[in-house]
Amino acid sequence: MTQYLRNAWYAVAYSDEVADRPLGRTMLGTELVIYRDSAGKAVILYDRCPHRFAPLSVGKVIGDVIQCPYHGLQFDATGRCTRNPHSKGGKPLQAARVAAFPVLERYGVICRATTRWRRSPHCPGSNSSSTPRDSGS
């Protein structure tokens, strides 16, 4: 069993590795998908669709969301389902949710916090604890 610090940031990708296409990564035994939203902010989600467990990393990024390659559910940066193409009017599946991780992008590296705490761990070089969406600088 791997042991690691729980309340810490871990580098998952170089900034230039992540663009508008999903990137799959396994870190500390957890499969992740990383992509950038339309504003260029990095997003890190668990790499499994909650519907039939297809890897989101082989899906596609559409604006701010990632679309599952299997049945097309779409998820935003918080992991919330935003569209179900098979329902009337694309109404999202409320129960479908993907785990979303705090993201910090600094010095050309995208990091993920290994925490479920409300506040993300302190990042060296910043004056306060970072928010989960502190990405892009």
Sequence-separated (6 or more) residues with CB below 8 Å from residue 55: 24, 31, 33, 47, 48, 49, 69
The one segment of 32-40, 68-76, 100-108, 112-120 that binds ligand FES by CB under 6 A:
68-76
Q: By CB under 6 A, is residue 10 in contact with ligand FES?
A: no
> Residue 107 class from Cβ within 10 Å (0-12 exposed, 13-18 middle, 19+ buried)?
exposed
The closest alpha carbon to 45, from 71, 72, 24, 17, belongs to 24
Q: Which of 8, 11, 54, 123 binds ligand FES (CB under 6 A)?
A: 54
Residue corresponding to tokens 């409300």: 118
| Least distance CB 68 / ligand FES (angstroms) | 3
The one segment of 14-22, 44-52, 103-111, 126-134 that binds ligand FES by CB under 6 A:
44-52
Q: By CB under 6 A, is residue 51 in contact with ligand FES?
A: yes
Q: By CB under 6 A, is residue 73 in contact with ligand FES?
A: yes
Q: Which of 70, 109, 119, 136 binds ligand FES (CB under 6 A)?
A: 70
| Least distance CB 48 / ligand FES (angstroms) | 9
| Least distance CB 26 / ligand FES (angstroms) | 19
| Least distance CB 67 / ligand FES (angstroms) | 9
Q: What distance in Å separates the CA atoms of residue 100 and residue 109, rounded to the nearest whole number? A: 18
Give me the phi and psi of 106, to 5 degrees please: -145, 145
Sequence-separated (6 or more) residues with CB below 8 Å from residue 76: 64, 65, 82
User: Quick check: 122 and 129 in contact, CB under 8 A?
Assistant: yes
Binding residues (CB under 6 A) for ligand FES: these are 49, 51-52, 54, 68, 70-73
